[in-house]
Amino acid sequence: MGNAAGSMEFPMGKEGKTVSFPPGSETPQKQAAGPKIPMPAEEELEERFNVVLNSMNLPPDKVKILCQYDSEKKWELVCDQERFQVKNPPSAYLLKLRSYLDQGGISRKFKRRVQESTQVLRELEISLRTNHIGWAQEFLSEENRGLDFLVDYMSFAQCAVTYDMDSLDNGTATPDKSVEDLTRSAGNSPIHSASKAARSLTVRFNALHSRKAMRNSRLVSQKDDVHLCIMCLRAIMNYQSGFNLVMTHPCCVNEITLSLNNRNPRTKALVLELLAAVCLVRGGHDIILSAFDNFKEVCGERSRFEKLMEYFSNEDSNIDFMVACMQFINIMVHSVENMNFRVHLQYEFSHHGLDDYLQRLKFTESDRLLVQIQAYLDNVFDVGALLEDAETKNALLEHMEELQDHNAQISSRLQESEREALETVSELEKHLIQTTKEVELLKESLRESCSQVTILQQREIEREIERERERERQRDRDRSAQALAELEEKVQGLVDQQLIRMERSSSGHLDLHVVPFILPVSIHAETEQITTVDGPVAPPTSLVLPPPPAPPLPGATEVTAQAPPPPPPPPIPPPPPPPPPCSTATPPLPPPLPGRGIALPPPPPSIGMAPPFGGKHDGHTGNRNKKAIQTKYRMPSFNWQALKPNQVAGTIFNELDDENVLGELNMDAFEEQFKTKAQTAPADVGTLRAKVAQKIHSKVSLLESNRAKNLAITLRKGGMATSDICTAIETYNQEALSLDFLELLERFIPSEHEVKLIQNYERDGRPLDELPEEDRFMVRFGKIPRLAQRISTLTFMGNFPESIQLIQPQLNAIIAASMSIKSSSKLKKILEIILAFGNYMNSSKRGAAYGFRLQSLDLLLDTKSTDRKQTLLHFIVSIIQEKYPELQAFHSELHFMDKAALVSLDSILQDVCALERGMEVTRKEFAVQEDNPVLQDFLTSNNDLLDSVVEDGKTAQDVYESTVEYFGENPKTTPPSMFFPVFVRFIKAYKQAEQENEQRKKQDVLSREGRTGPPSTSAKPEIAQKQVPMMPKLPQMDLIAELKRRQVIPLVREGKDGAIEDIITALKAVPFTARSGKRSSRLFCDSGFSDESPT
């Protein structure tokens, strides 16, 4: 926004002063900056600042930014703007232009004046471009009419060029052809509108001076005046008001277009850039086309754009012109919205050989030209290809419909397979349950058999001991008898030797008296064995037995002793009592070892004799006492719901050992990551009586009016005669009566009051024809025997198959899900790990827990680490991946959780009971009508099915309750809709935690790589190829992308201030792409200009 005055001085008014132009003065001179002026008051500063802003003609966003400046910056801006002084007003330039248009006078004087025209136009262009908007508006005002003079001068400057070109095209060089002829030919051009007719008049010179004007025009055309005129018009068009004046001027755009005949390639390039920018302004495309129509008439073209293509083909040495020409062609053809018109314009250039020429240009070395060529080719409409694409699209749509049908069939088969799999799994689970029960019975039978075998073995052992004792006693008796016989022989020998004598006393005892006699020592030794016997001699005892209750130690043998005749032994005690029958699962005693020694191993200790894990047990609950864990840091509390010790017995937690898990893990890392930071009113009786009074039947109808109307509507829906309906009910014809109709008929079973009314009516002998159709139906309907039972039976028979189909899958889901949870060893181990971590966090504050409620699994996501970046679940997942990788797929052992979560077991069991009641009613009906084949067939085919469903219902209830109790929950207060969703949410959270841990690991790896340095460029494509596999691009994807791209509304620029310069600058940066901001050029792509590029 500087000075445009330059150094020339023009005369004012009518003074004929000459204008001096110092040599080399082509740009405006800036005044030397004087001493800094002091800042005025705030009000004066704001007033002067607003004046400067108005003169700068800035867009609102820039004005807003400048208004935010402080006072010092505002004052600097005001001073900078006031340093520039406009020395020459617009009238000075216009005066000079009028003098150049004077076609009279001597040729030498004109030559002297024409030497100054270039400098004047250059100064004018600078002034229009740099002075404030008020100067430009003064130049374009009605008083000065600067645009008209500028267009007239440009027309004068290039009329000779147009004339010479026309002469060459006609093959003649007649110098006598005047501008008048050109004017006449231009005026006869067929223009479609008044504005176009106005623009067609391009030469406005007096015919009297035509030859002189032609001669002077040839002198001007040799200068850069036409180029500078275009530059002046470009500066004018950069203002919104100036652009509107140019667009509405009758011949300005035509003259700009005719400037393409200029011999200077730089001028041609400038013209094409300006015309391309105008095409992208709203309404500009039609004006440019009209100008080329005028160009065709003035220059005598056979078809439009002929000369443009000729220049494009011949000026192959000037790359700037070729780039501008290619850019203009691309915008001219592809900036219209009408696709048919776009194809038409495309064909015009193809008719002039553009396609062939572009084929030759593809080997050019200019990258800028290749970019523009590629942009044009990217925008080209290939009608044949689009037709093929349309056919391909139709084929693809048909194929897509086939695929959708195929997918629907596959989905149906998949659902069927899933249902069959669920039934199979449920059957297997039920078979497993039944087999388990049979195994338990066999085990019980085996235990009883073992007990009996043990008893029999004990008795056999006792009998063997008794027999052995008897044999030992017999041997003792034999030895005693033999010893007695020997003793008797010895005594008799002594008697015979008269060494002793035997005498019988008065009491009957036999006394032995030794005869006094000195005997040898040997005889004396024998007599020492003789004793006085006061009764029968008792044989010595040879068997010593331990007391019966305690069996001998293993390896012990019987001890026999031969001793001199001892005193008589005590009587033999009775055999020990038989052991009690085996009531536990202890193994039976082994059979006796061979040999005389009989040894029995001690019985194994019973359950509960020693702690299962070596810890101390609570005397009341049988659980081991858990010690509080002392952590190094203060840990956050895990707010689970712990089970009491007396609630753990018989659950899964009784089998878990969290202390063992803590012994396997290093909890230091866990402590570091999860430590705390700090360390209605009753009805009126009268109203009711009134309503009852209203319900009294009239004499005409036996039914209440509303009931009769509803019955009539029901009969019309049925569409059957009264006799057919009653016959179908009597014969149980399910095909004739739909379920909906039966349910409606069930509401119209005659009440006792209606039956009495019908009976009284018939007792009076009144004809039935006098009754309405509904009453006659009720009379016939009420005579069906056991009507309520028949309709109930028909309804039950009709609903039975659907009820079975609804109930059976839900029972199967409950059975399969319950058994899979209860039998999952991996889930059991994961709960053990969670129990260990929970006790590690809580035991020092709340004491160790023996178990926890399943709802506590949801709290794993609420317990966060110290840095709040991970939760307790994330840490447990990482521990499982590191220490227990076999547990990662624990959810594969849990089946049909989501289906079981949707089941209401109580409702299903009630439905099963309802089926049983309905079947019982059907059996009673069949007992009354045993000759009815429908009831017989139904009972025969569905009795076993119902029994199976009832059995499945009991199995599902038992399995579910045992599973819920196994996990420490109460089955009465925990329905499946609460129990199974806990595991569903836990599985989902576990998988999510796994993914987040993997993402965190990848981010850590990337961050470490970023710190160590970027990877090599050669490795990046390999990594990208490994991570993202290249998929083949389907041909229909190109079609879809093309259709989407062409459906976008083009962004047409508005003719506001600065629009022309913005468009030209953007086109130099990025080539034009039709109807979209996407840069599809394969040769050039710069996303930095995507927002500013023309579209």
Decide if pLDDT at 100 tops 80. Answer: no
Collapse the DSSP code of 411 into the 3-class scheme (helix H, G, I; strand E, B; otherwise coil) and give the result: helix
Residue 262: how many other CB atoms lie within 10 Å: 21
* Ordered DSSP codes for 187-225: HTS--SSHHHHHHH------GGGHHHHHHHHHHHHTTTH
Q: Write the CB contacts of 36 (distance below 8 Å, at least 6 apart in sequence).
A: 79
Q: Say which residue, 188 or 338, is predicted with more confidence.
A: 338
Decide if pLDDT at 543 tops 70. Answer: no
Per-residue CA distances from 27 to 8, 55, 120, 232, 606 (Å): 10, 21, 11, 15, 116
Q: What is the pLDDT of residues 629-673, one digit of tens each?
A: 888 888 888 888 888 888 888 888 888 888 888 888 888 888 888
Helix/strand/coil percent split, the chain, to 5: 65, 0, 35
Please provide the size of the chain in residues: 1095
The string over 656-694, giving b where at least 16 C-beta atoms fall within 10 Å of a residue's C-beta and e elsewhere, is: bebbebbeebebeebbebbbeeeeeeeeeeeeeeeeeee
Q: Say which residue, 442 or 678, is predicted with more confidence.
A: 442
pLDDT of residue 175: 40
pLDDT of residue 200: 40
> Side chain identity at 923, as an amino acid letter?
R
Decide if pLDDT at 983 tops 90. Answer: yes
Range from 264-268, 371-375, 420-424, 675-679 carrying the lowest mean pLDDT: 675-679
HSE of 323 in the Cβ direction (CA atoms, 13 Å)? 19
pLDDT bucket at 112, cuts 50 / 70 / 90: low
Which residue, among 758, 775, 777, 776, has the nearest Cα to 705 in the 3D structure? 775
Q: Say which residue, 447 or 1, is predicted with more confidence.
A: 447
H helix intervals, 497-554: 521-527
Q: Say which residue, 217 or 229, is predicted with more confidence.
A: 229
What does the mean pLDDT of the chain come to? Answer: 74
Q: Say which residue, 693 or 66, is predicted with more confidence.
A: 66
Q: What is the pLDDT of residues 800-836, one digit of tens each?
A: 988 998 999 999 999 999 999 999 999 999 999 999 9
Residue 797: how many other CB atoms lie within 10 Å: 21
pLDDT of residue 874: 92
Tell me how far the alpha carbon of residue 743 is from its chain's centroid.
Answer: 45
Instruction: Specify the residue for token string 């093309």.
Output: 1042
Is 810:908 a contact under the CB 8 Å cutoff?
yes
Q: Write the CB contacts of 496 (distance below 8 Å, at least 6 apart in sequence).
A: none
pLDDT bucket at 410, cuts 50 / 70 / 90: very high
Residue 132: how many other CB atoms lie within 10 Å: 18
pLDDT of residue 68: 84
Identify the DSSP state of 307.
Answer: H
Decide if pLDDT at 101 tops 90. Answer: no
Pick the most confident of 77-91, 620-634, 953-967: 953-967
Give the CA radius of gyration of the chain.
60
Over residues 371-383, the mean pLDDT reads: 87
Longest Cα pair distance anywhere in the chain, in angstroms? 212
pLDDT of residue 991: 93
- 751: enclosing H helix or E strand: none
Which residue, among 140, 141, 144, 149, has the nearest Cα to 121 in the 3D structure? 149
Per-residue CA distances from 491 to 499, 535, 537, 565 (Å): 9, 16, 15, 17
pLDDT of residue 979: 93
pLDDT of residue 272: 93
Over residues 786-809, the mean pLDDT reads: 87
Range from 539-543, 714-718, 983-987 carrying the lowest mean pLDDT: 539-543
Is 482:610 a contact under the CB 8 Å cutoff?
no
pLDDT of residue 964: 93
pLDDT of residue 210: 53
Over residues 558-587, the mean pLDDT reads: 43
pLDDT of residue 566: 46
pLDDT of residue 31: 43
pLDDT of residue 102: 58
> Side chain identity at 996, as an amino acid letter?
E
Instruction: Specify the residue for token string 């083949």.
Output: 1032
pLDDT of residue 166: 53
89-379 sits in which CATH class? mainly alpha
Pick the most confident of 649-653, 995-999, 1019-1023: 995-999
pLDDT of residue 814: 92
Decide if pLDDT at 1072 tops 70. Answer: yes
pLDDT bucket at 517, cuts 50 / 70 / 90: low
H helix intervals, 497-560: 521-527
Decide if pLDDT at 740 tops 50. Answer: yes
Percentage of the residues of the chain whose pLDDT score is greater than 70: 70
Contacts of 113-119 with CB under 8 Å at 24 or more apart are: 114/216, 114/219, 114/220, 114/223, 116/19, 116/21, 117/220, 117/223, 117/225, 118/223, 118/224, 118/225, 118/228, 119/8, 119/21, 119/26
Measure the CA–CA gap between 433 and 438, rounded to whole angstroms. Answer: 9
Q: Write the CB contacts of 295 (distance below 8 Å, at least 6 apart in sequence).
A: 254, 257, 258, 260, 301, 304, 307
pLDDT of residue 1049: 41
Measure the CA–CA gap between 375 and 1067, rounded to whole angstroms. Answer: 11
Decide if pLDDT at 999 tops 70. Answer: yes
Measure the CA–CA gap between 1063 and 1065, rounded to whole angstroms. Answer: 5
Measure the CA–CA gap between 430 and 432, rounded to whole angstroms. Answer: 5
Decide if pLDDT at 375 tops 70. Answer: yes
Burial of 897 (0-12, 13-18, 19+ CB in 10 A): buried
Q: Say which residue, 851 or 49, is predicted with more confidence.
A: 851
> Side chain identity at 1029, as an amino acid letter?
P
* Ordered DSSP codes for 239-305: SHHHHHHHHHSSSHHHHHHHGGG-S-HHHHHHHHHHHHHHHTBTTHHHHHHHHHHHHHHHHT-SSTT
Q: Write the CB contacts of 304 (distance below 8 Å, at least 6 apart in sequence).
A: 292, 293, 295, 296, 348
Contacts of 532-538 with CB under 8 Å at 24 or more apart are: 534/509, 537/480, 537/484, 537/565, 538/480, 538/565, 538/567, 538/568, 538/569
Over residues 912-924, the mean pLDDT reads: 90
Tell me how far the alpha carbon of residue 478 is from its chain's centroid.
Answer: 101
pLDDT of residue 612: 42
Instruction: Specify the residue for token string 């050109």.
Output: 182
pLDDT of residue 924: 87
Instruction: Specify the residue for token string 């235990």.
Output: 447
* Ordered DSSP codes for 756-767: HHHHHHHHTT--
Decide if pLDDT at 759 tops 90. Answer: no
pLDDT bucket at 326, cuts 50 / 70 / 90: very high
Per-residue CA distances from 625 to 615, 646, 848, 1070 (Å): 7, 13, 9, 80
Which residue, among 339, 390, 401, has the nearest Cα to 1035 in the 3D structure? 390
DSSP E strand boundaries for 344-474: none
Decide if pLDDT at 984 tops 90. Answer: yes
Range from 80-89, 403-412, 747-756 carrying the lowest mean pLDDT: 80-89
Collapse the DSSP code of 514 into the 3-class scheme (helix H, G, I; strand E, B; otherwise coil) and give the result: strand
> Side chain identity at 740, as an amino acid letter?
D
pLDDT of residue 1060: 78
Q: Write the CB contacts of 98 (distance below 8 Å, at least 6 apart in sequence).
A: 149
Q: Was domain 695-814+907-959 assigned CATH 1.20.58.2220?
A: yes
Q: Write the CB contacts of 492 (distance below 8 Å, at least 6 apart in sequence).
A: none
- Which tokens hold the place of 904? 């209401």
Decide if pLDDT at 314 tops 90. Answer: no
pLDDT bucket at 82, cuts 50 / 70 / 90: low
Q: Which residues pair with 1053 in a beta bridge?
A: 281
- Which tokens hold the place of 828? 């059991």
Decide if pLDDT at 423 tops 60. Answer: yes
Residue 265: how many other CB atoms lie within 10 Å: 18
Residues of the chain with CATH 1.25.10.10: 89-379
Over residues 560-569, the mean pLDDT reads: 42
Measure the CA–CA gap between 247 and 282, rounded to whole angstroms. Answer: 11
pLDDT bucket at 1041, cuts 50 / 70 / 90: low
